[in-house]
Amino acid sequence: MLKVQVPEENLQAAYLFNTGQSYRADKFFGITRDKAELTFRVWAPHAKAVHLASAQCDWMPSEAFAMHPLEETGVWEITTTALKEGDLYKYAIETPAGDVVLRTDPFAHEYEKKPGVAAVVNTCPYKWHDGLYRGRQGRRHKLNQPINIYEVHMTSWRRHTDGSYLSYRELADELIPYVKQMGYTHIEMLPITEHLLDMSWGYQSYGFFAATSRMGYLQDLQYFVDEAHKANLGVILDFVPGHFIKNYDALYRFDGTPTFEAGDVTIAENVRWGTWNFDLGKSQVQSFLVSAALFWLEDVHFDGLRVDGVSNIIYLNQDAGKEDWVNEHGTAIDYAGVAFLQKLNAIIHERVPSALMFAEEATAYPGVTKPEGLGFDFKWNMGWMHDTLDFFELDYLYRTGAFNNLTFSFMYTFDEQFTLPLSHDEVVHGKKSLMHKMFGDRYNQFANLRTMMVWMMAHPGKKLRFMGSEWGQFLEWRDEEGLEWRDLQDGMNRSMQHFTAELNKLYRDEHAFWEQDFVPAGVNFSQTDQGAQGTMALMRHGKKPSDTIIMAMNTLPVQKDDYRVIVPRAGRYDVLLNTEDIAFGGTWQHIPTDYEAFLVGDHYEISVILPATGALIIKQKKQVRGKNNG
């Protein structure tokens, strides 16, 4: 092979990639454009030869498309004018064994529609219009802002009447105004990185730098994010850095040898998920995945990432058949996985300080949201979720004896910076929808669902709910079709949707709900030991004394006519929300809203009517200047 003089900057870029220090490797690999010339680069360290393959050469190795190695870096490249925007391509790789295999480009920004996996030449830039929004986000304190997430599976939120997907641009026109109207602050997308199997919901990906072609091009997704930002909505991506698709024409044995995965197949294979685990100890894999994360944050302007499967990354024993695996110290900690997540979060927080990093982590691993730990901003509180759902599924007869399900989370609520999730995982595979989980007949199911939502809002932590729960869809989520929008022809579902919108707006407007989520000063648990009565009240505090919200909740179907609520000071108090308001699907047509506090010993109380299976949100009226209200 003719020796080619390699520019020093290319050797430096390859060196940084190989040493795990290339944090935007996609700017070097994949395709770079210089006028009409396209340069293709790929990492295939053990290949004997690599050719660019396309329709121009009948997808066979051709000398006209031979790539040359960048010395001993494992990087191969070719510069050509033979391909243009929209053309398909792969790499024909000669393995150490002498076989020629076709592989798609791991760094591509677009792939052909399934079932094909060929990469598409796409180098078109997008012109952004969200500078004002991004500037505001950069000045906000991420822990002290309202975060109320609408979790969406983009291909099944709504579909055309013929069952076809809405495009990213159609979703921008329909989904964004809906989420805005409903009062959420963020949209979280289940993975939209390119994948083949619809039933994987995007969690079995092969295109870590590409938006799925099911709904359009990368530039169409960028338009969606741009429009969301113009509507003052953040957008979060579900990101999957732990594993990849099993197909043989993607990342697996990329150059004929274990390249992105470990050499030991028992380590590499993820039996439970039917995927291959990334070898997170490899420097090149670290460069690849950190670059992918930063691509979505920097080039696609996502506001944050929800990192999936953190437990699988930080433990050796999370997969089927590996329950007894331990490291050399006799524990199940995977040190390579821990080090990778620490590195990922440190780099993201340095380069994109406003980025919100969420960990989907289901164990008691310490310090997930600590700088000296894994370094995430937020951790999903799976314990709160399971305990809460278990409680509201209970027959009323057993609730007083199970109140610990609600109060146990108070024991650890400040151990991490938690997000409270009621996610897609809880409304599929026979688990029933949130509405269907609730105890009782249809009326009581709605009453329980409204009460549970108020409980969620009042509990410290950021919020996440999956699509369809906002109106109480009864059927489980099915990824192969759109949500049951026809439910909204029913008055109870419309009332539930109206309730969710009002509750969301109240959450957004009242600082007490989110300004001090992660410090003890943000909550007062003074009336949370009333399990025998099935009731509870607590206070949430903002930074200003006037920013205090009181939540009172009754989990039993018996109205409490003289329920005493402790309030912070003398004065008059308003009921801002009553879950049993007839407008929300309840039975109360006349809503008492004005209460005078009275002194009881060393504190003040108000006496309210607490509805059966219902909740109140209460706030002190603004004091008239110059009057002494005690």
Residue whose pair of structure tokens reads 């939502």 in the numeric block: 453
CA 507, chain centre distance (Å) = 20
- Integer angstrom CA distances of residue 421 from 216, 299, 627: 29, 28, 43
Number of CB atoms found within 10 A of residue 354's CB: 18
Number of CB atoms found within 10 A of residue 427's CB: 23
Q: Two tokens at 455? A: 């409980």
Written as one letter, the residue type at 292 is A
Q: Give 82's Cβ-side CA count (13 Å radius).
A: 16
Residues in the chain: 630
Helix or strand holding residue 132 (H, E): helix 131-139
Residues 6+ apart with CB under 8 A from 457: 463, 503, 506, 507, 513, 551
Active site residues: 308, 360
Helix or strand holding residue 336 (H, E): helix 335-351
Number of CB atoms found within 10 A of residue 231's CB: 14
Helix (H, G, I), strand (E, B) or coil at 448: helix
User: Residue 498 — φ and ψ, nearest 5°?
Assistant: -65, -40
Helix (H, G, I), strand (E, B) or coil at 77: strand
For residues 489-502, one letter each, b for 16 or more C-beta atoms within 10 angstroms of the residue's C-beta and e for the rest, the string is: eeebbebbbbbbbb
The answer to whether 195 touches 245, Cβ cutoff 8 Å, is yes
